[in-house]
Amino acid sequence: MKTTVIGTGRMGQGLMKVLYGHIPNLQWASRSKDRVEALILENGYTNTALVDYESALDSEILIHTLWYRDLIPWAWKNRDRLTGKILVDIANPFTEDFKDFTTEWGSSAAEELQAVLPETKVVGAFKNTFFKVFDLPVHQGLQSDVYVTGDDLDAKEKVISMLSGIPFRVLDGGSLQNNRTIERMTLFEREVAIRYGHYPYVSFRLFGL
């Protein structure tokens, strides 16, 4: 089974830092072959295959790192190719000034994506994780949490299993609907982190488990 990370921006690079060595048949997709090839060499990801965006769609599991504003058009364009696949959604539907949301109160990016792709198994993850946390996911001895959400229980369990072993605490976050809370809490944690001077090193940790 192939898993492909789509995108070489800050989140794409961050995800590769924690996924490499834990996931077999890991691929990295970019619009620029030269860019992804340079990043693979720079980081020593010797067992990672580089693919273009078109070839990435052949993977059984895809983890996209697209901005939400680009995600829905991309999903519509590739709707048929994404049928039957597991698509891990990390997007947050923030406005460009990071002050509000582009989705309605009773929805979330993950649910909007699932509505566009009814034949795709959408699973939410890493929505609460800002890019700097991938450099140091353990803070004062505590791992950052990753909440994995999905309405297809089998797909959600596959993603949870796939992420086992990464330096995060991976938790079952319930249904896709719970992203309404997770996405909004992520914007809230950003505001608080900026106020106290430690943004973008900010994530969630749920105590008492």
User: Tens digits of per-residue pLDDT, 96-110?
Assistant: 999 999 999 999 999
Beta strands in the chain (DSSP E): 3-6, 26-29, 49-51, 61-64, 86-89, 121-124, 138-139, 142-143, 145-150, 169-172
State the pLDDT confidence band at 209, using cuts at 50, 70 and 90. Answer: confident
Helix (H, G, I), strand (E, B) or coil at 38: helix
- Give mean pLDDT, residues 174-195: 97
Structure tokens at 105: 């109160």
State the pLDDT confidence band at 186, using cuts at 50, 70 and 90. Answer: very high
- Give mean pLDDT, residues 168-181: 98
Residue 113 vs residue 33, higher pLDDT: 113
What is the set of domains in the chain, with CATH numbers? 3-196 (3.40.50.720)
- Give mean pLDDT, residues 38-44: 96
Structure tokens at 89: 């959604």
Looking at residue 126, its pLDDT comes to 98
Long-range contacts of residues 190-198, Cβ cutoff 8 Å, at least 24 apart: 190/98, 190/130, 193/130
Q: pTM of this prediction?
A: 0.96
Structure tokens at 122: 């959408």
CB 11: neighbour CB atoms within 10 A? 22
Side-chain-facing half-sphere of 129: CA atoms under 13 Å: 29
- Give mean pLDDT, residues 115-139: 97
Q: Measured between alpha carbons, how far is 206 from 209 in angstroms, rounded to an integer?
A: 7
Residue 82, C-beta contacts closer than 8 angstroms, at least 6 positions apart: 57, 62, 75, 117, 119, 120
